[in-house]
Amino acid sequence: MKRLLAAALLGCVAFGTNALAQAEIARTTMPAPPQTGVIALQVAGCDPASEVWHPDGGKPAVRNVTCPTLLPFLPKAGATGATVIVAPGGGFLGLAIEKEGYEIARWLAEHGVAAFVLKYRTLPTPKDQGVFVDELTKLIHGQPSSMKLPDDTPDIAREDGLAALRLVRANAAKFGVDPARLGFMGFSAGGFLSRTMVLADKADRPAFTAPIYPNMAPLAVAADAPPMFVAIAQDDFLLAREKGFPLIESYRAAGRPIEFHLFPSGGHGFGIGAPGTPEEGWIELLYKWMRTSGFLTKAK
């Protein structure tokens, strides 16, 4: 798992899929972008000054998150009442928050689905961006590094995911959403977190989950587990470590609804999907799945 997450860092923590090979790992920081309407998830040890914002392929990314938040993207018209919490990836050492958060949330809101981008707590990394890049490079190459990787979803991320679900449900009327149609989706490490939400107590589970290029290992799927949508590319390294599709088979064995899309290429970290690529339009498939599964209409 540590080797798996180290590989994920190359595509998701900060710098683009081929960044290391191209010697283009960013050593610069940037101001935090405007976050109008952000909602704090109250936790002990919150220190806003700990955050380091930096470019990720020209898009904002953040690390050293100690103050979890939700940023709402609410539909301006055509609201369906459905809502999704969106968890960006980044190996739990940072968050590709624009590419795998804001961009996804904007698309959903434009299609009538309320979205909340979850900035969950991440593991500590060096404050200095240059030192971080040096330590990250060592980590990727399997050399001794001051940074460590988790075996799976850290407790702090799990706690933030659960807190996000509880907050949106408790304030559903305020946000104009149906608490019975609240989903949870995530990318890479956020996909790990999405899997973890499936294992939560029944009262806390989302109505549906959508892990995108997640850990594809087996999962203990309950007989009443929420429906799941999965998308991943055939050349994603996360598939190389598994024989077959254990996550999918876990859902099938439990008799729970699952829709699975395997794209012929795209690697790891394709985000919303670039035009002209096989994974282009996967989010439209997600939207169709939500519609045909009944999540875009209120139950009678």
pLDDT at 57: 83
CA distance 242 to 264: 17
Nearest to 229 by CA among 198, 204, 200: 198
92-118 pLDDT tens trace: 999 999 999 999 999 999 999 999 999
What average pLDDT is seen over the chain?
Answer: 91
161-189 pLDDT tens trace: 999 999 999 999 999 999 999 999 999 99
First-to-last alpha carbon distance for the chain, in angstroms, is 44
142 Cβ contact partners less than 8 Å away, ≥ 6 residues apart: 3, 6
Phi, psi of 94 (to 5 degrees): -175, 180
101 Cβ contact partners less than 8 Å away, ≥ 6 residues apart: 71, 86, 87, 88, 95, 117, 118, 119
143 Cβ contact partners less than 8 Å away, ≥ 6 residues apart: none
pLDDT at 24 over 60: no
pLDDT at 300: 73
- pLDDT-derived band of residue 25, with 50, 70 and 90 as boundaries? low
Residue 264, classified by CB atoms within 10 Å of its CB into exposed (0-12), middle (13-18) or buried (19+), is: exposed
If you search the block for the tokens 């392929």, which residue do you land on? 57
pLDDT at 26: 81
pLDDT at 71 over 80: yes
CA distance 89 to 280: 19
Query: For the residues 243-262, what does the mean pLDDT come to?
Result: 97
Of 115 and 149, more confident? 115
If you search the block for the tokens 């979803």, which residue do you land on? 153
Low-confidence winner among 140-149, 152-161, 217-226 (lowest mean pLDDT):
140-149
122-148 pLDDT tens trace: 999 999 999 999 998 888 888 999 998
Phi, psi of 129 (to 5 degrees): -65, -40
Nearest to 83 by CA among 22, 193, 164, 190: 164
pLDDT at 137: 87
What the block records as the tokens of 34 is 């405007």
